C-alpha cells in the first residue's frame, strides 16, 4: 500500500474522540453515565476522548451507531408541524422558550419537547395554554396533525411523549391506561398498565432507575377496559421486551405490592450488555 493510500485512510477515519465527546455533551451525560450506555469503563471513555487510546472496531461501531441513531431520531422528530409552528410564533413574539413557558404556565422543557417534535400528542390543556399565551389559535392543519396522533383506533387516546419531570402535570386523576417509559434515545425501557396512572407513577419516584438517562420521557394510551389493558400490556411486553434496552424481566417489590399489576416489570440488561 502506498504512503498516499495510508494517509487517505487516516484522513477518512472518523474522529471518534470528538464524536464521543460531542455525543456525551449533547446528551448531557457524565463520562460514567456514557460508559454505562456503552458497556465500558469511565476510564476508557476518558482515554478515548483525550485521544490516548483507539477503541476496538466493535466499540467504534457502537459509538458511531449510537451517534447515527440519535441524529436520525432528532431529524425525524423535527418534522413536527406543531413544533415548527410554535418556533415561528415564538420568534414573531420575540420570546425565549423560558419566557413563553412562564407566560403559558407550563415548563420550558415541555416547550422544548413540542418544538423538537419529541411530544407528538400534547395534552389539550397544554395546547390551550400556549394558544392563550400567544394570543392566537393553532392552524387547522396543525390541529389535524395532533388529532391524528391522538386517536388510536379501537383503544383510546394517546398522549406524549412527555418529559419525565413533568409527568404529574400531564396525567389526570384516576386515569386508566397503558404506559411506556423511554430512555434519552427514545428506546422503550418499561411497559405497564394500571387503572390509576398517577398513583402508579408516584410509586416509582424513589426507584433508582426513575431518572434520566435511564428514563427520560413517557407516553400513555387511555384504555378504560381492564381486560383490554391487560391483553395489550402482555402483547407489548412480548413485542417490545426483546428489543428494549432491558430484556430480562423481574417483578418490582414494594412495601405494598398489591398496588402493582402482577405483569408490571422492570426490564433488565442481558449479561453481555449489563452496565450500559
Per-residue model confidence as pLDDT tens digits over 153-174: 888 999 999 999 999 999 999 9
Q: How far is the C-alpha of 217 from the C-alpha of 118, rounded, in Å?
A: 9
Average pLDDT, the chain: 81
Q: What is the pLDDT of residue 184?
A: 87
86: closest CA among 131, 30, 32? 131
Strand partners, 191: 180
Residue 193 has pLDDT above 60, yes or no: yes
Q: What CA–CA distance (Å, rounded) separates 22 from 211?
A: 22
Give phi and psi for 161, each to the nearest 5: -70, 145
* Mean per-residue pLDDT, 4-27: 70
User: pTM above the 0.75 mark?
Assistant: no
Smallest Cα–Cα separation from 194: which of 218, 214, 216, 166?
218
pLDDT for 178 beyond 90: yes
The mean per-residue pLDDT over the stretch 258-272 comes to 38
pLDDT tens digits, residue range 233-254? Answer: 888 888 775 554 443 343 333 3
Q: Which residue has the higher pLDDT, 94 or 66?
A: 94
Amino acid at each position: 500500500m502506498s504512503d498516499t493510500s495510508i494517509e487517505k485512510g487516516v484522513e477518512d477515519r472518523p474522529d471518534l474522540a470528538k464524536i464521543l465527546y460531542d455525543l456525551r455533551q449533547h446528551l448531557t451525560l457524565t463520562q460514567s453515565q456514557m460508559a454505562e450506555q456503552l458497556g465500558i469503563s469511565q476510564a476508557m471513555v476518558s482515554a478515548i476522548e483525550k485521544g490516548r487510546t483507539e477503541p476496538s472496531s466493535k466499540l467504534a461501531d457502537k459509538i458511531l451507531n449510537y451517534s447515527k441513531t440519535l441524529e436520525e431520531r432528532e431529524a425525524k422528530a423535527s418534522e413536527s408541524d406543531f413544533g415548527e409552528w410554535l418556533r415561528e410564533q415564538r420568534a414573531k413574539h420575540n420570546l425565549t422558550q423560558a419566557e413563553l413557558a412562564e407566560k403559558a404556565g407550563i415548563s420550558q422543557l415541555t416547550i422544548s419537547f413540542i418544538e423538537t417534535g419529541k411530544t407528538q400528542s400534547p395534552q389539550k390543556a397544554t395546547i390551550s395554554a400556549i394558544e392563550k399565551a400567544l394570543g392566537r389559535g393553532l392552524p387547522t392543519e396543525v390541529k389535524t396533525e395532533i388529532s391524528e396522533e391522538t386517536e388510536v383506533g379501537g383503544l383510546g387516546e394517546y398522549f406524549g411523549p412527555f418529559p419525565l419531570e413533568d409527568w404529574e402535570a400531564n396525567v389526570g386523576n384516576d386515569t386508566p391506561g397503558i404506559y411506556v417509559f423511554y430512555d434519552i434515545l427514545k428506546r422503550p425501557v418499561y411497559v405497564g398498565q394500571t387503572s390509576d396512572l398517577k398513583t402508579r407513577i408516584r410509586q416509582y419516584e424513589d426507584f433508582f432507575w426513575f431518572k434520566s438517562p435511564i428514563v427520560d420521557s413517557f407516553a400513555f394510551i387511555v384504555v378504560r377496559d381492564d381486560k383490554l389493558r391487560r391483553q395489550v400490556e402482555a402483547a407489548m411486553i412480548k413485542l417490545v421486551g426483546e428489543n428494549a434496552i432491558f430484556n430480562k424481566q423481574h417483578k418490582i417489590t414494594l412495601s405494598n405490592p398489591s398496588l402493582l399489576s402482577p405483569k408490571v416489570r422492570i426490564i433488565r440488561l442481558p449479561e453481555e450488555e449489563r452496565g450500559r
